[in-house]
Amino acid sequence: MDILTWTYLLVGLSFALYIGIAIWTRAGSTKEFYVAGGGVSPLANGMATAADWMSAASFISMAGLISFSGYDGSVYLMGWTGGYVLLALLLAPYLRKFGKFTVPDFVGDRYYSNKARVVAVIAALFISFTYVAGQMRGVGIVFSRYLEVPIEWGVVIGMCIVFFYAVLGGMKGITYTQVAQYCVLIFAYMVPAIFISMQLTGNPVPQLGLGGNLEEGIPLLEKLDGVLSDLGFAEYTSGRKGMADMLMITLALMVGTAGLPHVIVRFFTVPKVKDARLSAGYALVFIAILYTTAPAVAAFGIYNAIQSTSEKNISELPTWVQTWQKTNLIQIEDKNGDQKVQYLADPISNELKIDKDIMVLASPEIAELPNWVVGLVAAGAMAAALSTAAGLLLVISTSVSRDLVKNFNPGISEKKELRIARLAAAGAVILAGYFGVNPPGFVAEVVAFAFGLAAASFFPVIILGIFSTKINKEGAITGMIAGLVFTILYISYFKFLHPELNTSEHWLWGISPEGIGSIGMLLNFACCYFVSLFTPAPPQSVQELIQEIRIPKGAGNAHDH
């Protein structure tokens, strides 16, 4: 069978599975819609969390970023995995014990203020829409290549699928769909990685293959360094980013992970606080499988791509180049008229431009793997993009229905609240589709902005809300607004208003828009602390509540004895 047939078959089967699960687990109450009834097992929740968190950015874009950035791309590996550890240890158990469904719910109750809740809802919507734009872009890329339709139509098809199971099943449907999606995406990521590692280094373990030798006995990374420097590029294992920028991007990704509303809500779907910790541990193992493989996939991909195209006549280029050219994600321009492809470090002279977002998807074709592997990768990429998009759409719908409508209209019936949640999800799908067609950057870049916004707005008020009894509503509101506004303005200035100035010499302290969320976070912390110093302390009942959520269950009795 050809690639297209395999793709239709495998993507079609996976979609049938997701839709079947959504119908089987249809939410019948608001508790099932918001937190799957609170009865999900830690193992299933760990898988669902891993799928929710490993988005199109992790599956499609991260290895592509590392392929083209080399050492500099490691910030994504360190930031995203480090952030997950932070979330599991510092936030998840306490938020679960607090017992609120959403981050705005926690902020509104902890800071005893509806204004704080509304600011948190606005922040959650900003983060979620920025993040979901990246997922929809990923969906569009996959469909445009494998179904041979324009990216715009790819986004529309993806919107319809997500709309169906997110709006129908709510968190209950999404949770069990994400368990299936994790199994699909991890299998789809590992199979080609194992094949290509065997091809290049003879080692079936990609993580070991990365440090292994090629057939001629030269270490893979040493050969890759040589190939790139011969073409005029920086060595793969050397970095070009400044140390301060590397640190700030890593920090923004770490604390942004710990403040992501669609990941935090997953810890409310398990029955007990202990299960929240356990599911966080399971999720970390499931996430590590992909994240330790990504550097190998990146190195294999860029090595094979250069070897199969460099100095080749344009008429002799491999089939994968012509196929991806149709999507406009590969562009060839014979600038010197010699009918050969030349890679040059100068972007103006470079004759072959490869979109970072295609490296993982194109890898099996570049390595000439069997057609079914190419179809499998397409199904895995769809699973990664759709699982996160569904989680984000649920956060958006919950923010509107529960944190805004129900909070200001407490007498609303459960049936009406569920209808509003579904309408909000439908509206969010349409808006997300628009951002997918007109994205503000490539997938991982857009997602990095979402993490920066989460770092600047949510992380300080959640961490201070758990570990400090002194921070009050005035401090929290000021901090969230200051952090969010500063970060949005900085990103907008360099990415949209003046992209020509988006270079290290114009950045504030040499920090890029991807890393500025760290400064927004520090600004938020400072505002929280200093404003709280000069305004009334939180009520005694709130201070006691904070003390209570930090005490492990049963510790009070032991202390009495």
Mean pLDDT on 486-512: 81
Give pLDDT, residue 231: 65
| Separation of alpha carbons 384 and 156, rounded Å | 17
Count of C-beta atoms within a 10 Å radius of residue 148: 13
Q: Which two tokens stand for residue 12?
A: 């079609």
Closest to 152 in 3D by CA, of 135, 133, 137, 163 = 137
Give pLDDT, residue 129: 75
Closest to 123 in 3D by CA, of 473, 458, 493 = 458
Asked if pLDDT for residue 560 goes beyond 50, the answer is no
Give pLDDT, residue 78: 81
**What pTM, to 2 d.p., does this model score?**
0.77
Query: Mind listing the pLDDT tens digit for each residue in 191-212?
Result: 999 988 988 888 888 888 888 7
Query: Mind listing the pLDDT tens digit for each residue in 292-319?
Result: 888 888 888 888 888 777 777 777 778 8
Closest to 436 in 3D by CA, of 447, 426, 420 = 447
| Separation of alpha carbons 54 and 296, rounded Å | 17
Q: What does the DSSP assignment read for 397-408?
A: HHIIIIIIIIHH
Give pLDDT, residue 524: 93
Closest to 192 in 3D by CA, of 377, 14, 381, 382 = 377
Distances (CA, A) of 261 to 15, 69, 97, 519: 26, 29, 16, 20
Helix (H, G, I), strand (E, B) or coil at 470: coil
- Evaluate whether 146 touches 7 at the Cβ level (below 8 Å): yes
Query: Mind listing the pLDDT tens digit for each residue in 375-394?
Result: 888 888 877 777 777 777 77
Q: Which residue has the higher pLDDT, 25 or 191?
A: 191
b (16+ CB within 10 A) / e for 403-422: bbbbbeeeeeeeeebbebbb
| Separation of alpha carbons 39 and 175, rounded Å | 11
Dihedral over Cα of 191, 196, 199, 202: its sign: negative
- Evaluate whether 63 touches 293 at the Cβ level (below 8 Å): no
Query: Quick one: DSSP state of residue 340?
Result: B
The phi-psi region of residue 476 (left if phi > 0; otherwise alpha if psi is between -120 and 50; otherwise beta) is alpha
Closest to 431 in 3D by CA, of 465, 493, 389 = 389
Asked if pLDDT for residue 226 goes beyond 70, the answer is yes
**End-to-end distance of the chain based on CA atoms, in angstroms?**
72
| Separation of alpha carbons 412 and 408, rounded Å | 9
Give pLDDT, residue 555: 45
Query: Mind listing the pLDDT tens digit for each residue in 266-295?
Result: 676 676 767 777 887 888 888 888 888 888
Give pLDDT, residue 527: 93
- Evaluate whether 123 touches 453 at the Cβ level (below 8 Å): yes
| Separation of alpha carbons 205 and 221, rounded Å | 16
| Separation of alpha carbons 132 and 390, rounded Å | 9
Q: Which CATH class is domain 3-440?
A: mainly alpha
Q: Which residue has the higher pLDDT, 546 or 521?
A: 521
Q: Which residue has the higher pLDDT, 230 or 247?
A: 247
| Separation of alpha carbons 78 and 442, rounded Å | 20
Angle between helices 371-398 and 414-437 (to 10 degrees): 130
Tell me the residue type at 298. A
Query: Where is mean pLDDT largest: 277-281, 289-293, 404-408, 501-505?
Result: 289-293
Count of C-beta atoms within a 10 Å radius of residue 557: 8
Asked if pLDDT for residue 556 goes beyond 50, the answer is no
Q: Which residue has the higher pLDDT, 460 or 181?
A: 460
Q: Which two tokens stand for residue 431?
A: 């808006």
Average pLDDT, the chain: 77
Give pLDDT, residue 526: 94
Place of tokens 């936030």: 91
Q: What percent of the chain has pLDDT over 90?
A: 4
Query: Mind listing the pLDDT tens digit for each residue in 57-110?
Result: 777 777 877 877 777 777 878 887 788 778 777 777 777 777 666 778 788 888
Asked if pLDDT for residue 37 goes beyond 80, the answer is no
Tell me the residue type at 168. L
Query: Mind listing the pLDDT tens digit for each residue in 418-456?
Result: 778 778 877 877 887 887 777 655 555 666 777 888 888
Mean pLDDT on 52-56: 72
